[in-house]
Amino acid sequence: MLQVKDLTKSFDGKTILDSLDFQADAGQIVGIVGSNGEGKTTLLNCLTTVLKPDHGYIRYKGKDIYEDIDAYKKDIAYTPDDCSSFDYMTGREFIAFIGSSYGLTKPEITGLTEGAAKQFNFTRFLDMPIEEYSRGTKQKAALIASYIHRPEIWFLDEPMLGLDPAASDTLVSLFKEVAARGGTVILTIHDLFQAERICTDVAHLDGKQMVKIYHDIPHNKEFHQDLVRFFSAK
């Protein structure tokens, strides 16, 4: 599904990611873990074309994403950790704006919005300005908007932050839905216990590189032992 090779990204002479290799396949829910400042968000920004790597390549279904960047963008979604730049909109307007950018019709957007709002207990917030939302409510709006076109790959930056338990469970159900239909979820996550509950695979980012990828997470004893030991030593 997605293959990354020798990805390097620097800012002002400082290398953030250095010759990073990474792969995510259909049906996986991949958590990216690592200490603060290790480049997790930078990696997501490269994978979603927000940033262009200085070196290396990213291939989607065997094809470099920059060969047909518009087609790639239609197949993915990105939920960043902040949607405050849309504070002047209502939740409904924001979701409609994102939906229309993916070519959805007004009736499609309306139906999908109402359904997702019920799932996330968000209906009463739809017509309120985003600037009046709490952190968790903003997160719900961002999740609904980014998932509205049912992406093949869903990228998320710390999506659990601020969510109430019911919304967290709803989000995990959506992750499983994506994986079940052959899509892929890639998220950054800081809580190892949540990673163990949510993910099928976990990639450990450290020292500007992907140092190890753990598979079959629910049954992988090495995963928890290794990472608890690593973060305890930091």
DSSP codes joined into one string, 140-187: HHHHHHHHTT--SEEEEESTTTT--HHHHHHHHHHHHHHHHTT-EEEE
Tell me if 3 sits within 8 A of 184, measured CB to CB.
no
The pLDDT, as a whole number, for residue 215 is: 86
pLDDT digits (tens, 9 = 90+) for 173-219: 999 999 999 999 999 988 778 888 889 999 888 867 776 788 888 77
Structure tokens at 16: 């953030």
Environment class of 224 (CB within 10 Å of its CB; exposed 0-12, middle 13-18, buried 19+):
middle
The pLDDT, as a whole number, for residue 84 is: 65
The pLDDT, as a whole number, for residue 218 is: 76
Residues in the chain with pLDDT < 50?
none
The pLDDT, as a whole number, for residue 232 is: 59
Amino acid at 166: A
Looking at the chain, the whole-number percentage of residues with pLDDT higher than 90 is: 64
Tell me if 130 sits within 8 A of 86, measured CB to CB.
yes
Fold of 2-85+152-233: Rossmann fold (3.40.50)
Domain ranges for the chain, please list them: 2-85+152-233
The pLDDT, as a whole number, for residue 229 is: 66
The pLDDT, as a whole number, for residue 231 is: 59
The pLDDT, as a whole number, for residue 13 is: 81
The pLDDT, as a whole number, for residue 53 is: 92
CA dist 40 and 88 (Å) reads: 29
Q: Which helix (H) or strand (E) holds 22?
A: strand 14-24
The pLDDT, as a whole number, for residue 80 is: 84
CA dist 228 and 204 (Å) reads: 12
